[in-house]
Amino acid sequence: MKTPVITEFQRTIILSEDEKQSGFWIQDDTHFSDPKTPLFLSFMLPAFLHGANKAFKRWKYPIDYIALKSSEGYVYQTTIPAPGDPAQQFQEQLKILRPLFPSLKERLYQKVEDILLPTYEKIEANSRINLSLKDALQKTEELYDFYLTAWEIHFDVVLPQGVLHETLEQLYKNLTKSDDVTFLHEMLTGVMNKFLESDQKLWELAEQAKKNQTLSKIFLHSPANHLQSELSQADDGQDFLSLLAPIIREYGYRKLNNHEFIGETWVENIHEPLSIIQTFIQKDYHFQKEFNHVRTEREHKYRQLLDRLPDSEQKEEFKQVYQWALKATCLRDDHHFYIDAMLPAKARLLLLNVGKTMVLNQIMENPEDIFFLYLDEVQQALSKPEPLTPLISKRQEEYRTYQKKKAPASYGTPSEAQLSSPMLQQIMGSIKETLDDTNRLKGFAASRGKHTGIVKVIHGPDDASKLEKGDILVCKTTTPTWTVMFAVAGAVVTDAGGVLSHSGIVAREYQIPAVVGTKVATTNLKDGDMITVDGTNGVVTIEKQK
């Protein structure tokens, strides 16, 4: 087989050797912690760039542009800060965005109801019908166009919320004369969102199961991968599965790795939700009690802060902005639910249907093979069918190789503008401090407190069973799918992310220490190590290595 020539489309998403030398590219492990398949990159990178750069321009964001490209499946980004005074730029942003602050939640849900959900219904319908080659090509191209639309909505929602949070932080710092905003972030916990909502629904089912002797026995003693079959064989189990079905229909368009097409959704396989229910039962976790406790703590901390602040116009301004921010807190998870999670889940099912058409036309052997082709290759194959099995086999082997490799943290040398960017200073500072001390890892202080415990390196929710109460969850990053593990862990340490990453936000919800963005935690730590996580100062100390 001839080595395929990199096409014009593929050049837009593949990082060349010249670009590695001439620019400065940082691995985007916050969004994409593992290597991605060619078809996912084909949809995701153009959509991300379209949405981000359009929002930067619309909202006067202090970034000229951002570019994303892939090297060996890993995603790298380069960011060019906009010239000018950051303080002045922020004020220009604020002038545009402040009128939106009271209605950020409504803005998202209007787009959910008017655009996202109606289109998802069409995508799902097209995933269930037989497609001709012509139809498959048309539906694939329509899906690509919708990816651009969805990620335009994504950044149109996320960036204004970011400015709202920055406004709140500045007011807090001015009032308290402190740069430590962890306490402020703790005052934004205990707010219901779509992922907590789904956990609550599963917990309610777990509570029902605990009252039934047959169900309790199955969940307490069966391996997670046997749960569905054992439930199916019992009358009470069949009734239980019928209660689970509507929850899956509403909350099941998600997967373990949301930013990817490979991997089954909950709609296809209920192993993951059953595992979550099992964890709730085995760990005797009480969702409602914990949620109510966090909400009460939040309210207490807010009153405590107000009591110690003297009356002033700035205090009144803080109170107003805080209420807007509290109302909008759910957006971080709700936008993820409807876009980051639901979009690739729905897209996967449609693309698998396109894959079936390609199998019927002898283009490939398995519908899942489609994910190892770039978009332009899929378009070409649907227009002029020819066998692509050798190319797909080569790509699959490359993908397995990439998964085993440790990707470079960056390529190239940062420019003066990039070095002076507060965002990049945080990233580079974290790397430097981490490498300076082999017994300590430095990251961002994301959730206050200190905890000493045993390391469990978790590569995905399938590893959740090895996490015991009080263990320290060490991982590359987390997504809302991982939330149940925070109920068990004593602390969290991640390679990627910042204070407002999912890991940091959920750690504060569960009131456990967290240090995020260490860059090297999963490399330097292994199962059985004993470490101390200082979430107040952003330091992880290795006490004893196994």
**Please, is 397 exposed, middle or buried when counting C-beta atoms within 10 Å of its C-beta (0-12, 13-18, 19+)?**
exposed
pLDDT score at 424: 56
pLDDT score at 484: 75
Per-residue pLDDT band for 422 (boundaries 50, 70, 90) equals low
pLDDT score at 257: 85
362-378: pLDDT as tens digits? 999 999 999 999 999 99
333-370: pLDDT as tens digits? 999 999 999 999 999 999 999 999 999 999 999 999 99
pLDDT at 19 over 70: yes
pLDDT score at 461: 62
**Please, is 449 exposed, middle or buried when counting C-beta atoms within 10 Å of its C-beta (0-12, 13-18, 19+)?**
middle
Q: What are phi and psi of 87, to 5 degrees?
A: -65, -40
238-265: pLDDT as tens digits? 999 999 999 999 999 999 888 999 999 9
Cβ proximity of 473 and 456 under 8 Å: yes
DSSP string, 447-513: E--EEEEEEEE-SSGGGGGGPPTT-EEEES---GGGHHHHTT-SEEEESS--TTSHHHHHHHHHT--
pLDDT score at 482: 73
Distance of CA 391 to the CA centre of its chain: 31
Q: Which two tokens stand for residue 530?
A: 């004993």
Domain 430-542 class, CATH top level: alpha beta
> What are the extents of the domains in the chain?
1-100+379-428, 194-287, 430-542
Per-residue pLDDT band for 31 (boundaries 50, 70, 90) equals confident
Per-residue pLDDT band for 434 (boundaries 50, 70, 90) equals very low
pLDDT score at 533: 95
Task: For residue 172, give the amino acid letter.
Answer: Y
Q: Calculate the CA dihedral of residues 131, 344, 265, 465 and round it to 10 degrees.
A: 160
Beta-carbon contacts of residue 10 (< 8 Å; ≥ 6 apart): 374, 376
Q: What is the rounded average pLDDT of the residues 182-206?
A: 94
pLDDT at 33 over 90: no
Q: Which two tokens stand for residue 362?
A: 């002898």
- Tell me how far apart the alpha carbons of residues 239 and 176 are, in angstroms, rounded to a whole number: 55
Per-residue pLDDT band for 426 (boundaries 50, 70, 90) equals low
Percent of the chain with pLDDT over 70: 95
Q: When comparing pLDDT for 114 and 275, which is higher?
A: 114
Catalytic residues: 502
Q: What is the rounded average pLDDT of the residues 103-128?
A: 98
Cβ proximity of 132 and 357 under 8 Å: yes
Cβ proximity of 389 and 364 under 8 Å: yes
- Tell me how far apart the alpha carbons of residues 228 and 222 are, in angstroms, rounded to a whole number: 10
- Tell me how far apart the alpha carbons of residues 186 and 507 are, in angstroms, rounded to a whole number: 10
Q: 3-class SS at 200?
A: helix
pLDDT score at 527: 93
pLDDT score at 475: 87
Cβ proximity of 37 and 371 under 8 Å: yes
- Tell me how far apart the alpha carbons of residues 172 and 462 are, in angstroms, rounded to a whole number: 40
Q: 3-class SS at 540?
A: strand
Residues 437, 442, 448, 453: is their CA dihedral positive or negative? negative
84-113: pLDDT as tens digits? 888 888 899 999 999 999 999 999 999 999
pLDDT at 406 over 90: no
pLDDT score at 287: 92
Burial 323-335 (b: 16+ CB within 10 A, else e): ebbbbbbbbbbbb
pLDDT score at 194: 95
530-534 and 410-412: which strand pairing? Answer: unpaired
- Tell me how far apart the alpha carbons of residues 383 and 134 are, in angstroms, rounded to a whole number: 7
